Amino acid sequence: MHPLFITDMAIRLKMVLSLLLSAAFLVSTGHGSLLLLELPREIHPLRPRSGSAGDHVAGLSCLSWRLGVETNNLIGWKTVPQECEGYVGNYMLGEQYRSDSRVVAGEALVYAAGLDLAGDGKDVWVFDVDETTLSNLPYYAKHGFGAEPFDPTPFNEWVLEGNALVLPESFTLYQKIVSLGIKVVFLTGRTEDQRSVTETNLKNAGYYTWEKLILNRTSSYSGSTAVTYKSSERGKLEKEGFRIVGNMGDQWSDLLGTSTGLRTFKLPDPMYYIS
């Protein structure tokens, strides 16, 4: 028998088996994205019963959860699933987060370098701040990497310390953007009363120059989503004559809505969701 025919038969058999299992599990539990994690080990088709391999398969499910988050399929979630706290922690502290960020920043860099710029000082690149240009990983490392419910009080205390770290891949892109003569606009959900500490933190992290730092005037945007706030502020930039040639954030709410820019770039962030 031709080996490709065997592959073909194997694929068909696998699809049929998967079909039977999917139908039973998806329909009967209805818990969406954490189905794999919620099934008892005994009946789980993917989960071996022996020790160490179980971690691998748990990792498999948390990887699927993370992919679901990064592709904007899983929305409106409040915390990282308890089962994935260890996975997300290892991811954020490990090389995969760096590698994932490097692919995004590298693509943005090639894109920026290839832009046909007008050179009239009106080309801008919009960067979000938290988990895009600055990293709050030391804070989240002490708060379950997003598995604990978000508490604004200690988080704001952390922000006011001004010790958020540089995100190296974004910083490399930032340097290229500046060197190309594209103006940098920081557009953040941080509030106006955090302007001074944010400016100092950005400078301490190496971001010395920018055209605008736009912070959330809660008086104007009270109750609005980040999509509404950021779309509105980007619209104002365009009305001022700026062309948004690039837009980078760690949340889809940085990149969706209106006036999103010529091209958007989504950095990884499996720790929290902002709508």
Where in 75-104 is the site for its own copies (CB under 8 A)?
93, 95-96, 98-100, 102-104
Q: Which stretch binds its own copies (CB under 8 A): 123-131, 138-146, 154-162, 235-243?
A: 138-146
Q: How far apart are the first and last CA of the chain?
A: 54
21 or 212: CB nearest its own copies? 21
Task: Report how many residues bind its own copies under the rule CB under 8 A.
Answer: 71
136 or 194: CB nearest its own copies? 136
Among 54, 68, 86, 235, binds its own copies (CB under 8 A): 68
Q: How far is CA 51 from the centre of its chain?
A: 32
Residue 265 backbone phi and psi in degrees, to 5: -135, 125
Q: Which stretch binds its own copies (CB under 8 A): 79-87, 164-172, 188-196, 228-236?
A: 164-172
Among 142, 195, 203, 217, binds its own copies (CB under 8 A): 142
Q: Which stretch binds its own copies (CB under 8 A): 68-76, 116-124, 207-215, 227-235?
A: 68-76
Task: Report d(CA 168, CA 207) in Å as an integer.
Answer: 11
32 or 121: CB nearest its own copies? 32
Q: Please report whether residue 30 would count as binding its own copies according to CB under 8 A.
A: yes
Q: Strand 134-135 and strand 264-266: pairing?
A: unpaired
Q: Strand 123-127 and strand 212-216: pairing?
A: unpaired
Q: Three-state DSSP class for 21?
A: helix
Q: Please report whether residue 26 would count as binding its own copies according to CB under 8 A.
A: yes
Task: Report d(CA 154, CA 247) in Å as an integer.
Answer: 29
Question: Binding to its own copies (CB under 8 A): which residues in 1-20?
Answer: 4, 7-8, 10-12, 14-16, 18-20
Among 43, 46, 53, 118, binds its own copies (CB under 8 A): 46
Task: Report d(CA 244, CA 82) in Å as an integer.
Answer: 39
Q: How far is CA 19 from CA 11, 28, 82, 86, in A?
A: 12, 14, 28, 31
- Nearest distance in Å: CB 123, its own copies: 19
Indicate if the alpha-carbon torsion angle 251, 115, 110, 170 is positive or negative.
Answer: negative
Question: Binding to its own copies (CB under 8 A): which residues in 212-241?
Answer: none
Question: Binding to its own copies (CB under 8 A): which residues in 172-191?
Answer: 172-173, 175-176
166 or 187: CB nearest its own copies? 166
Q: Are 235 and 216 in contact (CB under 8 A)?
A: no
173 or 237: CB nearest its own copies? 173
Q: Please report whether residue 31 would count as binding its own copies according to CB under 8 A.
A: yes
Task: Report d(CA 60, CA 45) in Å as an integer.
Answer: 13
Interacting residues of 62 by C-beta distance below 8 A, sequence separation 6+: 37, 81, 83, 84, 87, 88
